[in-house]
Amino acid sequence: MQLNTTPQRTITVSAPATIANLVCGFDILGLCLNHPADEMQVTLTDKSAIHISSTDGYALPYEASENTAGAPLLEMKKLLPEQTGFDIVIKKNIKPGSGIGSSAASAAGAVVAANHLLGNPFTREEMIQFALFGEKAASGVKHADNVAPCIYGGITLIRSIFPLDIISLSAPPLWVTVVHPQIEVRTSDARQILKKQVLLKDAIKQWGNIAGLVAGFLQNDYGLISRSLEDVIIEPVRSILIPGFAEVKKLSIGAGALGGGISGSGPSVFMLSTDEETAHRVKDQMQKVYEGIGLDHFVYVTSINTQGVKLINH
């Protein structure tokens, strides 16, 4: 590969959180958030190695092949001149295991930063293909519903993974309230409790809702978005892993939220609202529930990030 590298050897990027499994859009719809976001500093070196360090206390794997930022760059390196290496310094603001795309942010951030330093030789689709190796390192599964919105920004539809087919969906302004109750839900457990078969009548209901949700986004129809935010297949099974889920959902909708559900495979729960004021009322209700249960939690009020990974000092 011929590279047209920029004179710049170091770049800092902001790699945002994302919400996958958007209610009825299990495995196919993801959304990018403005907050929280990891900060990553990536430096191009001629040492032919990938070196990873962090500025916070999280126990990340520092072996590149096992690290969600390292694995994608190892894959990218196969196409680069031998003496190309990267130093990565990660400030992890998105807590691993929270269900808001922590591993995807590291993977997408590393790939976008490296691509920039190399003079942008790769397309967005190719960047996603690399980033998927980070998801595989993290969970064993190459799922794109976090890395796609993290790189594209906004709301993305992953129509197909093999071959990769990603479609950006426009949407009206949406505010997002996310609560992260401090319990662990392992992705592997969340996958295992799903039934391998579903009733055809439930599947039909689900594809009516997913069609309605996509139409609601593209037609800027809040009412249709709200009516379509219903999941009759995954949520009834997985929500039992999340204490307070039913109460959070009921009170959030009572406070004016359009609807919402489990973020990724949990434990975070998200709700969509039309405006910031409502999103804050939803936050109050979420806090009330977890204070009542006595469970530690973080709550974020944020909006849709239409840009995805941002280059900071360039």
Q: Which of 141, 193, 194, 293 binds a second copy (CB under 8 A)?
A: 194
Q: Which of 52, 229, 233, 279 binds a second copy (CB under 8 A)?
A: 233
> CA–CA separation, 114 vs 24, rounded Å?
34
Indicate the residue among 48 and 160 with the shorter CB distance to a second copy: 160
Indicate the residue among 38 and 231 with the shorter CB distance to a second copy: 231
Is residue 138 within 8 Å of 103, Cβ to Cβ?
Answer: yes
Is residue 21 within 8 Å of 104, Cβ to Cβ?
Answer: no
In the numeric block, the tokens 């360039």 are attached to 314
Please report how close the Cβ of residue 191 comes to a second copy at its closest, in angstroms.
11
Catalytic residues: 135, 187
Q: Which of 49, 141, 193, 215 binds a second copy (CB under 8 A)?
A: 215
> CA–CA separation, 180 vs 51, rounded Å?
31
Q: Which of 115, 206, 239, 305 binds a second copy (CB under 8 A)?
A: 206
Please report how close the Cβ of residue 303 comes to a second copy at its closest, in angstroms.
22
**Site membership for a second copy, residue 193 (CB under 8 A):** no
Tokens of 24: 């009825």
Contacts with a second copy, 123-162, as mask; x by CB under 8 A: ----------------------------------xxxx--
Q: Which of 193, 199, 240, 293 binds a second copy (CB under 8 A)?
A: 199
Region binding a second copy by CB under 8 A among candidate stretches 30-38, 74-82, 190-198, 284-292: 190-198
Is residue 213 within 8 Å of 297, Cβ to Cβ?
Answer: no
| 151: helix, strand or coil | helix
DSSP sequence for 82-131:
TT-EEEEEEE--S-TTSSS-HHHHHHHHHHHHHHHHTTS-S-HHHHHHHH
The distance from CA 259 to its chain's CA centroid, rounded to whole angstroms, is: 18
**Site membership for a second copy, residue 174 (CB under 8 A):** no
Please report how close the Cβ of residue 240 comes to a second copy at its closest, in angstroms.
18
Taking the alpha carbons at both ends of the chain, their separation in whole angstroms is: 24
Please report how close the Cβ of residue 18 comes to a second copy at its closest, in angstroms.
17
**Alpha carbons within 13 A on the beta-carbon side of 193:** 15
> CA–CA separation, 133 vs 136, rounded Å?
5
| 311: helix, strand or coil | strand
Please report how close the Cβ of residue 94 comes to a second copy at its closest, in angstroms.
26
Q: Which of 15, 19, 23, 24 binds a second copy (CB under 8 A)?
A: 24
Angle at which helices 124-139 and 70-77 pack, to 10 degrees? 130
**Site membership for a second copy, residue 210 (CB under 8 A):** yes
Q: Which of 121, 208, 243, 256 binds a second copy (CB under 8 A)?
A: 208
**Site membership for a second copy, residue 205 (CB under 8 A):** yes
Contact residues for a second copy (CB under 8 A)? 24-29, 157-160, 165, 167, 169, 194-201, 203-215, 218-219, 224, 227-228, 233
